[in-house]
Amino acid sequence: MAHTVIGGSIVIDGEVTGEEALVIQGTVKGRISLQEQLVVEESGVVEADIETQNVDVSGKVTGNILASEKVEISSGGRMVGDIKAPRILIADGAIFKGNVDMDV
Amino acid sequence: MNESTTVIGERTTINGNLEGDEDLVVHGRIEGGISLKHTLTIEPTGVVVAEVQVRNAVVSGVMAGNITAEDAVHITAQGRMIGDIRAPRVIIVDGASFRGRVDMGDLDMPRASGSAEDVSRPAPVAARRVPQAISTGKGAVQEKDAEKAVAPKPAVKPKPAAKRKPASKPKPAAKSRSTKKQSAPAKSKSKPKKGGSKKKAPAPKAPSVGRRKKARKR
């Protein structure tokens, strides 16, 4: 579990890059660039462009997502932005506004 | 708010400002600024290049930049830091490497210096007085005299007179006796000291002691 957790009271303004899983319970503004999974938990707020492998959105995301594998917006998730990924899942109850591009 | 801890993993880099209300553990890298209301821990693999404002900071990794802490900054044996530290408590452990300034605060300094002065200045004076009395009082007689001089202050006038008399009288007597005995140099050296009731001149001292005892009785 050598992953990164951004706690609920943390606000990051800038760029987060990494080669491991990132869990966001707090706020990240700027840019996120990962090579693994990004989890935006219910308390998480992301105002950033995201580039990663997998994204699981249970919180709020404002920005564009470019995922190499999968983007999932869970039922509590709210997202505004464009998604480009081979697999995109939008659960019942999720709120989403933006473009979806499955590279078809 | 949350009692949770934020962990920056070993392979994660944050470039920018990070602020929050919880503990932060850095295994990875942060460049920019950190502002926390709790503890920042830089693990041995962690690298922080930032201006840091926290309550506590524990540096076991690499820290480049200035730290301002409300409480304490620890640099552990594995820690390496370049930058200035401003905190009321700064702990640098053996093995740690550090280059920079340490400022433990202007607010505490007046208290510390004031108390130190108040305590230290009287202490040395008292210490000086006591040792002097003791050192000069190597002879039991002198110690007794010192005690008397200090204790019975109410009867100040008679005692100094008594002291003067024995002191002055024994000297000429001792000189005359010493000259007679032809051991003049040693005795004369010891006599002018008044405290010269040392080993060399037992004979002249005896009379003076007797006189002093009388003076005490009086």
Find which of A64-73, B3-12, B172-181 is predicted with most confidence, using mean pLDDT.
A64-73
pLDDT at B211 > cutoff 60: no
Residue to substitute from A11, A15, A16, interface B, most B β-carbons within 10 A: A16
- Does B146 have pLDDT greater than 70? no
Query: According to the model, what pLDDT value does residue B105 have?
Result: 72
* More confident call, B160 vs B76: B76
Set of chain B residues whose Cβ sits within 8 Å of the Cβ of A20: 9-12
Average pLDDT, chain B: 69
Q: Quick check: B13 and A13 CB within 8 A?
A: no
A2 touches chain B (CB under 8 A): yes
pLDDT digits (tens, 9 = 90+) for B84-142: 999 999 999 999 999 999 998 765 555 555 444 444 444 444 444 444 444 444 444 44
Cβ–Cβ gap B10/A20 under 8 Å:
yes
Q: Chain A residue with minimal CA distance to B15?
A: A15
Q: How far is A35 from chain B (nearest CA, A)?
A: 10
Residues A80, A81, A85, A91: what is their CA dihedral angle, to the nearest 10 degrees?
10
Which token pair is B50? 């930032």
- A90 part of contact set with chain B, CB < 8 Å: no
Q: Does A20 touch chain B (CB under 8 A)?
A: yes
pLDDT by 10s per residue, chain A, length 104: 558 999 999 999 999 999 999 999 999 999 999 999 999 999 999 999 999 999 999 999 999 999 999 999 999 999 999 999 999 999 999 999 999 999 77
Instruction: List the single residue in B10, B11, B20 with the smallest CB-CB distance to A10.
Output: B20
Are residues B4 and A14, on separate chains, in Cβ contact within 8 Å?
no
Question: Angle B149-B153-B158 (CA atoms, 0-180°, nearest 5)?
Answer: 75
pLDDT at B4 (0 to 100): 77
- Give the pLDDT band of residue B3 (cuts 50, 70, 90): low
pLDDT band at B51 (very low <50, low <70, confident <90, very high): very high
pTM of the model: 0.61
Give dist(CA A80, CA A62) in Å, integer: 5
CB contact under 8 A, A16 and B15: yes
C-alpha count within 13 angstroms, C-beta hemisphere, residue A16 = 35
Give pLDDT tens digits for B187-209. 444 444 444 444 444 444 444 44
Domain regions of chain A by residue span: 3-101
Cα distances from B177 to residues A59, B47, B171, B180, in angstroms, run 108, 85, 10, 5
Q: What is the 3-state secondary structure (H, E, C) of chain A?
A: CCCEEECCCCEEEEEEEECCCEEECCEEEEEEEECCEEEECCCCEEEEEEEEEEEEECCEEECCEEEEEEEEECCCCEEECCEECCEEEECCCCEEECCEECCC
Q: Which residue in A8, A14, A19 is closest to B14 by CB distance?
A: A14
* A18 with B16: Cβ contact below 8 A: no
What is the Cα Rg of chain B in Å?
34
The complex scores an ipTM of 0.84
DSSP class of residue B154 equals G
Closest CB to B7 among A4, A17, A26: A4
Q: Are B90 and B102 in contact (CB under 8 A)?
A: yes
CA distance B34 to A74: 31
Contact residues, chain B, for A18 at CB < 8 Å? 9, 11-13, 28
| Chain A residue numbers touching B28 (CB-CB < 8 A) | 4, 18
Verify whether the Cβ–Cβ distance B18 to A15 is below 8 Å. no
Tell me whether residues B4 and A7 touch, CB distance under 8 A.
yes
Check B15 against A17: CB less than 8 A apart.
Answer: yes
Q: For residues B90, B96, B99 and B105, what is the CA-based torsion angle, rounded to 10 degrees?
A: 0
Q: Tokens 């930049």: give the residue.
A: B65
What pLDDT, on the 0 to 100 scale, is given for residue B157? 47
